[in-house]
Structure 1
Amino acid sequence: MGNCASQQTTEQRKSISSTAKVIHMDGKLQEFKQPIKAHHIISQNPKCFLCSSESMLLDSVVPQMKEDEELQLGQIYFLMPLKFSQSPLSLPDLCALAIKASAALPSLPHQSRPSRPECKTLLPSDDLGPCKSRHHPFSFVTR
């Protein structure tokens, strides 16, 4: 088994993109149907910071969202403890976050989830090291 890439229909993408998703470290998923400022979430979780899944890079410090930034519809965000704000993101950390997202996202209502896409292998699973899994809504591959 390896990583996969797929094309989804515009309809499926639209339903997936209709909310901004915040994944808490306990696996809780919050969805917002309209853009919301980061400070609304951070103020309810004072020992945490928000980061976009798209800004996370291996061996780099996770960039914190500014309090006046808006969460964008269709994006996935993580609410992380402040203790992670100055440490570079390791491969096990990144894998753990991918697993949390994978576990949280299936809890979405059925109509919000895409059907399992057709996959084609991009890399054999041996290339993924400790980050092996059946299926993730997004994959992280490093070289």
Structure 2
Amino acid sequence: MGACVSSISSSKSGTSGGGGGGSSVLKRSSTAVKVVHVEGRVQELRQSVQAKSIVSQNPGHFLCSSESMSIGTCVPHVPDDEVLQPGQIYFLLPLSHSHKPLSLPDLCSLAIKASAGLRAVDLPTNSKLMLR
């Protein structure tokens, strides 16, 4: 995998404590499923949900797991009946991207959106109010 996803994956999977600065955004809420929308908005789900529930609310899109993305290959869809896993980051992408090999710039763009969206989700409520 490319360096962009590796940094997200390794930070997310390092939930055993310790660690520093920037990775705490990804570590903090490992009990929630996170869905990163193509515009960068992050949806946190704390209840068990199947992929088809998210996809049905977003016609023309599909879900993919951040851990299954690889440069130069088409992004695999999460099966509709699969239960999304807590602590996992999923991307909601347009169907038009489903048969196009993932490029390094595409992957980096998704990683940047995920990082910004996850940071915004992790901000304390007071900080969110000050940002508006």
Alignment TM-score > 0.5, same fold: yes
Partner of 1:47: 60
**Structure-1 separation of matches of 2:90 and 2:122:** 19
2:22 matches 1:9: no
Unaligned runs of 5+ in 1: 112-143
Cα deviation, 1:86-118, whole Å, max 9, x if unaligned, reads 01100000000100111101112347xxxxxxx
- Report the alpha carbon displacement of residue 14 of structure 1 after superposing the two structures with TM: 7.2
2:87, 2:27 → 1: CA distance? 8
For residue 87 of structure 2, the aligned residue among 46, 57, 74 is 74
Structure 2 unaligned blocks of 5 or more:
1-5, 19-23, 125-132
Aligned alpha-carbon RMSD (Å): 2.4
**Larger strand fraction of residues:** 1
TM-score under structure 2 normalisation?
0.73
CA distance in 2, matches of 1:22, 1:54: 13
Match of 1:86 among 95, 99, 111: 99
Which range is displaced more, 31-40 or 78-87? 31-40
How far 1:16 sits from its partner (Å)? Answer: 2.4
Query: What is the rounded CA distance, in whole Å, between the counterparts of 1:104 and 1:89 in structure 2?
Result: 21
Larger relative contact order (C-alpha < 8 A, sep ≥ 6)?
1
**Which of the pair is proportionally richer in helix?**
2
Q: Name the amino acid aligned to 1:73.
A: P
Q: Which residue of 1 aligns with 2:71?
A: 58
The CA distance in 1 between the partners of 2:108 and 2:123, in whole Å, is 25
Residue 87 of structure 2: SS of its match in structure 1? coil
How many residue pairs align between the two structures?
A: 108
Q: 1:1-51 deviations in whole A, cap 9, x for unaligned?
A: xx97776517x7874211000000111110111221001110011100000
Separation in structure 2 between the aligned mates of residue 17 and residue 106 of structure 1, nearest angstrom: 14
Distance in 1 (CA, whole Å) between partners of 2:54 and 2:108 is 24
- Which residue is 2:129 aligned to? none
Q: Percent identity?
A: 51
